[in-house]
Amino acid sequence: MRRLLLILLLVLAFATVGAKRSKPVTIVFDGLDAPATLAEKQVVRSTSSMTIDGVEHPVGFVTLARDGDLLGEHRIGRLIAHDGAPITWPGGADRLCTRADGATLQLVDGAIHLVTHHECQPAVVYDTTLAQAEDGALTAVSAVPIDAAAVGGIGNACAASPSPWGTHLGSEEYEADVRLLQPDGTVAGNHEGYNYFSAYFRGTLHGVHPYALGWIPEIDVATTPTTVTKHFAMGRFSHEQAIVLPDQRTVYLSDDGTNNALFLFVADVQGDLSAGTLYAARFTQRDDAFSLEWISLGHATNDQVAPHVGGVPFDSLFATADAKPGECPEGLTGINTSAKHECLAVQPGQELLASRLETRRYAALRGATTELRKAEGIAWDPDHGRVYLAVSAVARGMTAGHKKWDAGRDSGDHIRLAKNRCGVIYGGEVAAKTKDTDGARIDSKYVLGGLRPFVTGVPEGERCAIDAMANPDNVAWIPRARVLLIAEDTDHHDSNVLWAADLATEPPTLTRLMTTPLGAELAGINWFPDVGGWGYLTVNVQNPYSVNPWMGASYEGGIPDGANRSYLGVLGPFPQF
């Protein structure tokens, strides 16, 4: 196998918030070729070593557990109902979620905890206790499912991030459309798989409401018992990831799906996300880049919203009318979001609830951009004072004048890019002294003023070029390094790839650090520079052998028993640098 070397010059750049330069460090990763044989496409492959200033260090992917593994009294990934007992299939077998996603490492009283999402409907989050050897090697000791009954359970738990104060920030993706709610508590067409959530309540959704899902859950494993808090002040939409910036107040929030938005939350108090002001971005395109303005969606607290997540009639929040695009009645505004074209107006006095229960719709009514296609992971780069956003595919509402996804939007067509099925990673610098579109000061020094492309996927035929990124999902930045880590979720490569992108070169140099079994997604990447004196990148390999239209005969001979179970693991250990 050809050895690819990625030489990364690690320089502490002069950041926006001010910092002294540090001594450069040269890192060399042992990269991978693309998997060429079926055998290589059936396993997890990873880099095996790196050098720091010429000194070699072993590093690689370590599987800590796989879905179904028994760790103590619990099987990783086993779904749990509201009563704390396992959810089973009709024959009595445990229901396993083979979609390990967001993950963080938490150090509590000297013990290392791996907190992992299992992205199903309903979802389950596991807390796995790890042991650490002197050489930094980690092993799984025991695992327990986290009890989320106090917040009505968790649905579609996607990406995660560590908060600066040591908690786990989760996500609930793909919220159901309340306009489709039926008298029995289900939603028509099982929109976004919401009806599957009935398993959490032993087969019923009676007395449950879609407004209970679609939030940012914060999990604190340092408390006894573990506490779970859903932050209603941060808005309800298809949360992919929340990233808290160094002031411990500014949070960027991505919204995954079609015709979705980008949000900014500024908390009132450091380390407390229960109250704050929410903003939505308005994009103005300049060639392939954008300037951003921020539209205030108002201030709210968890306590103000909490009494209403059990159910508020949609028509008590909005006046509605059925009309063709461009023909909304007077007093109503035409918007186009993930729910497609609608004619709406906020009912008098309902601005606060509309802004939090129906955040994307409310943002669209205020003139925000709701054209993003699969806005995914976010990363903070302290070296350059920059935020990165992965957009998995440039399509639908992001293209010019789309017949369905741009129709009837009174605020206009803000994004008019050429289609790119392989995706783009955008980035931009943050700044202080920024005002919102109403002329009010945004109380943050970390306000994103624009986005431009940094890494671009390359379409090739009906797929994506094998040596280029395809459909970026999670992203992470290693501080002091001009390297962005990119995890794919793609059908356009046979095996998904974890890339290291050296942004010091133009175009960025990409090196493979990991590849997956067929059909699997790489997920859950977060960088932890010092856990017990060692660095780790959390990495999960989600849902191997899932359906992929390009694979054809690759599955010839069948899938080995249990091969579709996720891998929960880390890339590491990294020495301190």
- Around 372, how many Cα atoms within 13 Å sit in the side-chain half-sphere? 32
Q: At residue 307, what are phi and psi to the nearest 5 degrees?
A: -65, -10
- Separation of alpha carbons 108 and 272, rounded Å: 19
DSSP tag of 230: E
Torsion of CA 291, 297, 301, 302, to 10 degrees: -80
Residues 366-405: pLDDT tens digits? 999 999 999 999 999 999 999 999 999 999 999 999 999 9
Q: State both tokens at 47.
A: 């880099």
Q: State both tokens at 236.
A: 């309800």
Q: State both tokens at 457.
A: 């996927």
| Ordered per-residue pLDDT tens for the chain, 577 residues | 333 333 333 333 323 333 334 566 777 789 999 999 989 999 999 999 988 878 899 999 999 999 999 999 999 999 999 999 999 999 999 999 999 999 999 999 999 999 999 999 999 999 999 999 999 999 999 999 999 999 999 999 999 999 999 999 999 999 999 999 999 999 999 999 999 999 999 999 988 999 999 999 999 999 999 999 999 999 999 999 999 999 999 999 999 999 999 999 999 999 999 999 999 999 999 999 999 999 999 999 999 999 999 999 999 999 999 999 999 999 999 999 999 999 999 999 999 999 999 999 999 999 999 999 999 999 999 999 999 999 999 999 999 999 999 999 999 999 999 999 999 999 999 999 999 999 999 999 999 999 999 999 999 999 999 999 999 999 999 998 778 999 999 999 999 999 999 998 889 999 999 999 999 999 999 999 999 999 999 999 998 987 655 544 455 556 677 788 999 999 999 998 8
Strands (E), 347-445: 372-373, 375-381, 386-391, 424-431
pTM of the model: 0.95
Q: Is 287 exposed, middle or buried (0-12, 13-18, 19+ CB in 10 A)?
A: exposed
DSSP tag of 41: G
Which among 276, 88, 273 is positioned nearest to 169, based on CA atoms? 273
- Separation of alpha carbons 452 and 191, rounded Å: 33
- Separation of alpha carbons 241 and 146, rounded Å: 19
Residues 396-433: pLDDT tens digits? 999 999 999 999 999 999 999 999 999 999 999 999 99
Q: How many CB atoms lie within 10 A of CB 349?
A: 8
Which among 484, 531, 532, 527 is positioned nearest to 505, based on CA atoms? 484
- Separation of alpha carbons 436 and 481, rounded Å: 32
Asked if 80 and 131 count as a contact pair (C-beta separation under 8 A), the reply is no
C-alpha dist (Å) from residue 56 to 59, 509, 534, 575: 10, 21, 16, 10
- Separation of alpha carbons 267 and 443, rounded Å: 9
* β-pairing verdict for 49-52 and 45-46: unpaired
- Separation of alpha carbons 318 and 197, rounded Å: 26
Asked if 413 and 370 count as a contact pair (C-beta separation under 8 A), the reply is no
Query: For the stretch 460-491, what's the b/e string if a residue is b when 16 or more beta carbons lie within 10 angstroms of its beta carbon?
Result: eeebbebebbbbbbbbbbbebbbbbbbbbbbb
